[in-house]
Structure 1
Amino acid sequence: MATAKQFLEAIELQKLVSSDVLDELYEEYRASGGAITAEALAKKLQSRGLITDGKAATLLQASSESFIQVGSGILNPANPTPVAPDDPFDSDLETKKTKGGVKRDAAGRRKHVQKSHKNDFDSPLLLLGGGALALLALGGIALVVVMNLQSGDQLLESAQSAYASGSYAQAREVYEEFVEDFEGNARWSEARVKLAVVRLRQQTETASDWPAALATAQQELPQIEDEEAFSENRGEFASILPRIARGLADSADRASGGADFDNEKVEGLVNQATEALTLVNNTKYVPKSLRDEREVTAINDLLDRVARRREALDDLGKTLTAIEAATSSGDIEAAYKARTAFVDRRPELRDDPRLAEKLAAAVEAERSQVKFTPEPADAVTTEAESPVALALPLVNPRRDGAATADGVFTATFHGVTYAVNAADGTLAWRRPVGVRLAETNAVTLGDDRLLLDHRSGELVRVNAATGELIWRTPVEGPEAPLFEPTIAGERVLVASESGRLWSFDAASGARVGATEFAQPLRSAPAIDAETGRAYVAGQQSSLYTLDTESLECIGVRFTGHAPGTVLTPPLAIGGRVAIIENTGAETSRLSVYATDESGVVGSQLGEWRLEGIVSTPAVVSARRFLVATESGAVYLFEVTAAKEGAPLTLIASQPAQPGEKRRRSVVESRGEVWIAGEGLRRTAASLADSRLAPRDLPDACTGDLFVGPIVKNGDAVLHARVRKGAPGLTVAASDSRTGRLLWETDLAAPPLGAPIYSDSARAVVASTVTGQSHLIGPPEVRARQSTQPDAEPSRPQVFDAVARLASTDSALAKMGGGEWLAVRVAPRAGSRAVSLPGELACEPVTMGEGVLTPLAIGQVHLLDLAGQPLATPFQPRVAAGSPIQWTKPAVAGPVAVLTDGAETVYCLAIDSSASASLVERASAKLPTSAAPAAAAIVGQQAVVALADNSLAAFSLPSLDASGTLPLPGAIVWGPYAAGDVALLATADELVAVNPSSEPAIAWRAPLDNAKPVGEPLVDGDGVAVAFADGRLVRFASASGDASATLELGQPLGSGPTAYGPRWLVSAADGAVLVVTHP
């Protein structure tokens, strides 16, 4: 009767069920501890219809000896053909055909023995005689067999004893002798299988010759797989074969990881390991019940790793070739890109010595490419010629006070640098320097300040107290972005994005020359004053060491940073150099390097991960430095003095903060760290938990956005910010002890309308969108600024429209509001809020001595400055409660033209026949359903801009349609009356329209992406137009030719107005510019 294990093996070998069912049966067998019977397993298969009852009975009735493995199948229990009673010697005769009863080949395998056929001439006598003879022979043979069995058993016991003691060589010798000399022994099959086992054990355990062991297994297993004793030794093969596979896989792994990598050798080992696994997975040799699947998985994982490494090493070879080729051709950027791309793909080979060798060659080639070229140029000590005769900034002291601080504090905002006195916040000077996405800060040089003028591409030195020019020198023109000046002893260094580091004499301003790099630069250099070394980070990959005197490159360190990821200058502190690389949208990395005795950057000492990207320079104080990220994380580090151990100590930090990411500035004051971003924060380092703990700050400026660096000066912390909801810049000083604001000064509030000259006040009137109105007379001209407004609102407000009445009176309004601010600046200055009959639907405009005020409720009023009616309001016929979206009226004398924002245009006039009233002179339907915009009156014609890129013209006062003129694009400015034409602008062109009975384009002028601002000024036979980029252009009214172009050098915020022989115009920061024109 078959055992449960034999039953399962028979099922597996005959493949009677699926592998899943077989796994389930084996699991049940193991779970029972071998106690389950073959009958129980057979019943399970029968109940599921997986084997027939007959097949189950056949398998169960087989004796354990009858299960003989043959190829991939199993012989059913042997059923020898019965011997007939009259053939008693047949079995003996058959036995005598081979020695020991079984015929075998040279390798010890069974040979098929064909039965002899009966001879037709045999007689009974011959058979009887032969039988007697056979009996005698058998007796002799039996005697020999008994003797052989006794000596063979002794030899086999000796072999087994040697095998058990691990003497595989001795065991092998004895087994080989037995197999050769005792082929007929009943235990010959056992010895033959054991011989194969011993040969494999000797090669795996004694010699660890894995390729030889595989060859032996591949030779031996087919020869013994049909032996009766094979099944009894499956446990041996289940142990040996995985070991061979693992040994070959380990050899492949070691060979693929060595410096002397031989791909052919590795490939051979991998193939052999795969072949060994094939033997392991062959159920004839290792049944599933004996196979260690975890070991098989581990071997496959190892081979997968080898495959990945081979692929990586092949990639490495191609990369090394590419780096070498790029280096030879001088394309260092390509060499670095090849290396960076490879490390991104294969980070495990980042430190491969072959890669380092090729990289070192590229670095040395790059160092040889960095050359200093003398390009001398003398400095100029006079200002450049400008049509701006005078610039008068408008200042609004928000809070008066005094701080214990000296000198000036500078802040750059929207292309203008402001210097305020640190003690009281008064404005010292204002200087336009050109707009840049990232403002460059002024740098202190003795009692002066160094600035970069991005308009002309010049390095400028000014007196810090007065702003007067000391010298200015061209760097390399206005096109290349320049980075903050850096002082290096008697030199000033300026880095350019073009890849040059310029050197200037600090005293005279004379330009010496430039060191040119093989790649662009993205930040200023760092200076080590003790060693006289400058450290420059390239746009990617490289950190250069230069001599500050000669600007000779004396070393290049490959850092591997990606293009454009280092946005701030390196740090040079205590013999260490650090760079901060932005490694993603949310993280950055601080890397620290050692320097040798000559100050050249050497090996990397460590790196620190930071939360958020870094876009503002670190703040250095002795051996400490502060780093702030845009995510609000702040780190206070100290450079260690010891040469061994960690190069930095993290003293304290603040984690990333919730909210929008933005640039942040930090400063250390009185042992505390001040942090400026969205609001102001004061913290103190807690040494117990290395945390920057918040401290009370009474004036935290919550919600305000800080710009530029914050500075410690005396007992004050100076800063600049944009107050929440208030355009412009507020410069202030906070007491470093109490945290309270000491003084505040508002600057750079945008203008509200154009400045105008008042004949009655003999002064210029200018207003800002924050509601301050200034009267600028001789004292302000002498002071070159208006130090405080003459009138302002009682509460903070932002206005978007102004209507000038008398030359000193104005109504400041906000669209949608129900009031305006009535302002008078002379003879007695003052302002007050005036309530209106309803909410404003559009901008109010001056009409005669009053303000034409269209309201959302549908009425159009004519009011005086105090809000009192000057005429009965006009009320069109509309459904009750239906609002009207009036458009800005155009006024010419007593006539006004405006639309209802939908389909009708109205002509209104003041009827003074009885009591004054606003009356409708005419109305007309607009020619299209496109939404109307502003209107303009030119002579006896009115034009209305339509949203379908057309202009509708009407005759006055009847509003008879004159025609519709298609335009070359959407109207972005205008229309305005300009002499005999209506002037408007599309995105690409300035267009003059002749609004005659048939409107036509009079002329067109290209704008080149310039944007007109404010209203044009009719000037004789021309018209002057202001542009936001800082130009004033006079166009001939008849032809559109640009007869004069004035470059004012600063952004503009209003159109021009007449000021005697000069023009007045407001800069974008509200400063009043007096302009000399041809």
Structure 2
Amino acid sequence: MEPKVASEEYDDEDVVEVVKVDDDREQSREALAEKARRQLNRGRLARLTEKLTGGPERPGQQKIARSPVVLLLAGGTAGATILAAIFWFINAQNQEDRLLKVATDALDQQKYLDAEGQFEKFISIYPKTASTAAAKIGLHRTRVEKFILTETPDVVKGLAELKHFVQECRELEGYDAQKDNLKRYADRLTFAGARVAEIAQSQEALDVSLESIELLRKFSGDEGIPSNREQDLQNRQRIASASVAKKVDFTAMLAAVRQQLEVGNTVGAIETRNDLISKYPMLKDDKDVSRVLQDILDNEKKYVVRTDVGKDGDGPASDAAALPSLALALRTQATTDLASQGRSVFSMGMDSCIALDADTGTPLWRRPMGANSPFAPIPVKAIEPAGVLVYSTLSEELQMLSQKDGQVVWRQSLGSRPTGAPVLIADNVFITTQAGELWQVTAINGRAVAKLKFSQPVVGPPAVSSDSQKLVIPGDQTLVYTIGLNPFSCVAVSYVPHATGSVKAPMIGAGRYYLLCDNFTADKARIQTLQMDDAGQLTLVSEDTVDGQVNDPCLLRGFELFVPSTPQRVTAFRVTDEAGQPPLAKVGANQLEEGLQTKTFLLAGPGGQLWMGGRDLRKFQTRTNTVLLDSGVTAEGVHVQPIQFADDAVFLTSRQATSSSTFFTRADREQMKGTWRTVIGSRIVALAPSAGGQSVLAVADYGETYRTPMD
């Protein structure tokens, strides 16, 4: 076995030797092939060289142009030229990008002068390259921004450059990408234009702002301007508009106001000022326009002229010419146990002031006063003896009568008819007249101390301040006057808007507030709550409205305010002076079932009770959020004078719808039942002598017949 193995090993070595020999042969063949290829290439190069040089030539016949050295140099030069051209192109492209970047960087850094110069240089060097459009857009952006993105923008030039930008670049590539910038520029011009217009009072800058906001709307497309931003811009434009108006129209307004004040036309001057505010609402709170109003009001105060009258009241007039007369007074009563306690009540009949016993209704005395007296008799207990203040239309005099017997204590002529009831403060009477005057008369002796003459009619009686040191009285239109009592003079005039003839009811004081009711539409009345400063100037605190028109006095009892309005309606408010709360809080309203257009008189009682005398006497009850109407009715008829109150009884003056006779009724206000009724003024419809001729028969318009003895 071992020899066999040795033989096999021998055979393997023999095979290896054969393989090695074959490999050497193969390598030898490849070497010969490579050598042949080199020789072949060398031959081709030689042929090419011969073609270029013309082949071998004899000495003396060789050409320099075909010299291999020359050809080598020429080839190198051509290659270098090609390389130089390539490098020049690359360098030129890099230079263009570099110049554009320098200009763009200057724009981004807001170096507008540098940026503008760089862009202009670029365009002059590269007028028609792929980057020229971007350079032109950049140039126009620079020219816009240098005028508007500065601390002192030139909005006029800025808008001109923006429009030029749009005109020149809208067809260029890349313009659509400028949408946000265009919106930013238009927004900036809108704001800056309004701001410049406000400061410089420039109409030109305002026009830029108005035109720019239209461009902003155009650039914003369908998305539109964000509502908050648009509101801010419009507010800024309104402020600017007011500022421009101040320069353009303010001077003209001042000239017109001066002319009107020179002729005493205060209301016209205020209307001129208001016309300016109507045209430019933002001027309402402008300090210069407010100063003009104060100047107008101060000037009006000068037109309230005091005259020291110093005229004593006259004594009783002679009754020698007076004819004897009788009053046909019919008295009816619900019970027979009425007893007099010596108290008197007073009322005005058809043409006379009459005193009646408050407990029995028996007439005590009568004093002829004439028809249509401007106010009902007013008891005056501040003098001795106690009196009754009346106005006689027979003699056109203010008179004080004795409560005891009706005799004239004093009388004083006022020059014209009163426009409302007088106000008594201490021992002084203050009364307004149709001549636009406010008189001060001493209650004790009728001495006319002084009078104030206003530039327009005034609506009395005046409201009294809480300290009884001032009176507040509205003019027929626009103005309210504050009157000081010591001395008696006008201390302030306030502007409180109300139209001519719109104030029918007198003002009333409510703590630190004053209330003015004016009928500003045919079916609505406005309650303006006013507050007075130390100088007597009134300012508006709040406004409230009620349905119907307010033609009769309002009533304040404690913190409850009752406002009568047509037709036969009452609205209740609660009054408060707490900080942060509105002065008036509405409780509710109610009206009669079939309200008539009559005078309305109110009387308030405890627990939210309210009585209304208009058509009959009716009772209301106020609750938390409503006003309820009671079903009780008494003192039927149309009431013609204010409700009087004594103890638990009310005294009412009325007439029937079918007659002109006057009835005076005492009623229990809680039970709403009449106690007695007395006729205090009769219209006689028939008069004839009796059959025997010893008496006269008279028939009154309410159906009663009277027999009066001739002697």
- Calculate the TM-score normalised by the size of structure 1: 0.51
Q: Which residue of 1 aligns with 2:536?
A: 600
SS, match of residue 615 in structure 1: coil
Whether the 8 Å CA contact 2:190–2:212 is kept in 1: the answer is no
Offset of residue 483 of structure 1: 3.0
Moved more, 644-653 or 504-513: 644-653
Which amino acid in 2 is paired with 1:606? S
Pairwise mapping of residues 537-936 of structure 1 onto structure 2 (< 5 A)? Answer: 537-548=474-485, 550-596=487-533, 600-621=536-557, 625-637=561-573, 640=576, 644-646=579-581, 648-650=583-585, 652-654=587-589, 659-671=595-607, 672-687=609-624, 689=625, 691-694=626-629, 696-699=630-633, 704-753=637-686, 755-758=687-690, 760=692, 762-777=694-709
Q: Tell me, in whole angstroms, the C-alpha distance in 2 between the residues paired with 1:327 and 1:605.
A: 28
Gap change, CA 1:715 and 1:406, over 3 Å in 2: farther
Q: 1:145 aligned to 2:78?
A: no
Q: Tell me, in whole angstroms, the C-alpha distance in 1 between the residues paired with 2:158 and 2:332.
A: 92
Q: Tell me, in whole angstroms, the C-alpha distance in 2 between the residues paired with 1:497 and 1:420.
A: 31
Offset of residue 544 of structure 1: 2.8
Which amino acid in 1 is paired with 2:688? I
Offset of residue 417 of structure 1: 4.0
Q: Which residue of 2 aligns with 1:322?
A: 256
1:441 to 359, 376, 386: 376
Gap change, CA 1:480 and 1:342, over 3 Å in 2: farther
Whether the 8 Å CA contact 2:191–2:209 is kept in 1: the answer is no
Q: How far does the alpha carbon of each residue in 1:204-234 deviate from its partner, in whole angstroms, 9 at most, with x for none?
A: 667694625324324444443453x1xx422
1:187 to 104, 124, 131: 131
Whether the 8 Å CA contact 1:652–1:692 is kept in 2: the answer is yes
Gap change, CA 1:498 and 1:275, over 3 Å in 2: closer
Q: Tell me, in whole angstroms, the C-alpha distance in 2 between the residues paired with 1:316 and 1:141.
A: 74
Gap change, CA 1:362 and 1:152, over 3 Å in 2: closer
Offset of residue 674 of structure 1: 1.2
Q: How far does the alpha carbon of each residue in 1:265-292 deviate from its partner, in whole angstroms, 9 at most, with x for none?
A: 2x2113434665787799xxx6978987
Q: Tell me, in whole angstroms, the C-alpha distance in 2 between the residues paired with 1:760 and 1:627.
A: 58
Offset of residue 458 of structure 1: 0.5
Q: 1:250 aligned to 2:191?
A: yes
Which amino acid in 2 is paired with 1:192? K
Whether the 8 Å CA contact 1:567–1:615 is kept in 2: the answer is yes
SS, match of residue 423 in structure 1: coil
Q: How far does the alpha carbon of each residue in 1:405-458 deviate from its partner, in whole angstroms, 9 at most, with x for none?
A: 98444444655444443323333444443444x841221201321001123220
Which amino acid in 2 is paired with 1:190? A
Offset of residue 344 of structure 1: 6.2
Q: Which residue of 1 aligns with 2:398?
A: 459
Q: Tell me, in whole angstroms, the C-alpha distance in 1 between the residues paired with 2:466 and 2:319.
A: 38
SS, match of residue 709 in structure 1: coil
Gap change, CA 1:569 and 1:301, over 3 Å in 2: closer
Q: Tell me, in whole angstroms, the C-alpha distance in 1 between the residues paired with 2:485 and 2:284.
A: 33
Q: Which residue of 2 aligns with 1:216?
A: 161
Which amino acid in 1 is paired with 2:589? Q
Whether the 8 Å CA contact 1:408–1:421 is kept in 2: the answer is yes
Larger radius of gyration: 2
Pairwise mapping of residues 952-991 of structure 1 onto structure 2 (< 5 A)? Answer: none
Q: Tell me, in whole angstroms, the C-alpha distance in 2 between the residues paired with 1:661 and 1:253.
A: 55
Which amino acid in 2 is paired with 1:450? L
Q: Which residue of 2 aligns with 1:877?
A: none
Offset of residue 669 of structure 1: 1.5
Q: Tell me, in whole angstroms, the C-alpha distance in 2 between the residues paired with 1:508 and 1:295.
A: 71
Q: Tell me, in whole angstroms, the C-alpha distance in 2 between the residues paired with 1:775 and 1:300.
A: 85
Q: Which residue of 1 aligns with 2:287?
A: 353
Gap change, CA 1:354 and 1:507, over 3 Å in 2: same
Q: How far does the alpha carbon of each residue in 1:100-149 deviate from its partner, in whole angstroms, 9 at most, with x for none?
A: xxxxxxxxxxxxxxxxxxxxxxxxxxxxxxxxxxxx99997676334433
Pairwise mapping of residues 171-210 of structure 1 onto structure 2 (< 5 A)? Answer: 172=115, 179=123, 182-183=126-127, 185-197=129-141, 200=144, 209=153
Offset of residue 499 of structure 1: 2.1
Q: Which residue of 1 aligns with 2:408?
A: 469
Q: Tell me, in whole angstroms, the C-alpha distance in 1 between the residues paired with 2:411 and 2:276.
A: 47
SS, match of residue 390 in structure 1: coil
Which amino acid in 2 is paired with 1:533? K
Aligned alpha-carbon RMSD (Å): 4.4
Whether the 8 Å CA contact 2:350–2:662 is kept in 1: the answer is no
Gap change, CA 1:223 and 1:495, over 3 Å in 2: closer
Q: Which residue of 2 aligns with 1:270?
A: 206
Whether the 8 Å CA contact 1:210–1:247 is kept in 2: the answer is no
Which amino acid in 2 is paired with 1:144? W
Q: Tell me, in whole angstroms, the C-alpha distance in 2 between the residues paired with 1:667 and 1:288.
A: 67
Q: Which runs of 5+ in 1 are unaligned?
A: 1-135, 782-1078
Which amino acid in 2 is paired with 1:376? G
Which amino acid in 2 is paired with 1:250? F
Q: How far does the alpha carbon of each residue in 1:603-653 deviate from its partner, in whole angstroms, 9 at most, with x for none?
A: 4443433333322223344565433223444344565466x4457343734
Whether the 8 Å CA contact 1:405–1:714 is kept in 2: the answer is no
SS, match of residue 392 in structure 1: coil
SS, match of residue 247 in structure 1: helix
SS, match of residue 676 in structure 2: strand
Gap change, CA 1:682 and 1:300, over 3 Å in 2: closer
SS, match of residue 144 in structure 1: helix
Q: Tell me, in whole angstroms, the C-alpha distance in 1 between the residues paired with 2:220 and 2:564.
A: 64
SS, match of residue 760 in structure 1: coil
Gap change, CA 1:663 and 1:246, over 3 Å in 2: farther
SS, match of residue 718 in structure 1: strand
SS, match of residue 487 in structure 1: strand
Offset of residue 686 of structure 1: 1.4
Count, aligned residues: 622
Which amino acid in 2 is paired with 1:732? T
Q: 1:394 aligned to 2:317?
A: no
Q: Which residue of 1 aligns with 2:64?
A: none
Which amino acid in 2 is paired with 1:535? V
Q: Tell me, in whole angstroms, the C-alpha distance in 2 between the residues paired with 1:185 and 1:458.
A: 105
Gap change, CA 1:172 and 1:635, over 3 Å in 2: same
Q: Which has the higher strand share?
A: 1
Offset of residue 715 of structure 1: 0.6
SS, match of residue 685 in structure 2: coil
Which amino acid in 1 is paired with 2:706? H
Q: 1:504 aligned to 2:441?
A: yes
Q: How far does the alpha carbon of each residue in 1:163-183 deviate from its partner, in whole angstroms, 9 at most, with x for none?
A: 9xx656599588667545554
Q: Tell me, in whole angstroms, the C-alpha distance in 2 between the residues paired with 1:729 and 1:522.
A: 27
1:363 to 280, 291, 297: 297
SS, match of residue 692 in structure 2: coil
- Calculate the TM-score normalised by the size of structure 2: 0.74
Q: Which runs of 5+ in 2 are unaligned?
A: 1-79
Whether the 8 Å CA contact 1:249–1:302 is kept in 2: the answer is no
Q: Which residue of 2 aligns with 1:234?
A: 176
Q: Tell me, in whole angstroms, the C-alpha distance in 2 between the residues paired with 1:730 and 1:345.
A: 56
Q: Which has the higher helix share?
A: 2
Whether the 8 Å CA contact 1:241–1:276 is kept in 2: the answer is no
Q: 1:422 aligned to 2:358?
A: yes
Moved more, 485-494 or 398-407: 398-407
Offset of residue 774 of structure 1: 0.6
Whether the 8 Å CA contact 1:381–1:469 is kept in 2: the answer is yes
Whether the 8 Å CA contact 2:158–2:189 is kept in 1: the answer is no
Identical-pair percentage: 19
Q: How far does the alpha carbon of each residue in 1:219-264 deviate from its partner, in whole angstroms, 9 at most, with x for none?
A: 444443453x1xx42242x4444544443343454456x5x6x44x
Which amino acid in 1 is paired with 2:638? L
Q: 1:513 aligned to 2:450?
A: yes
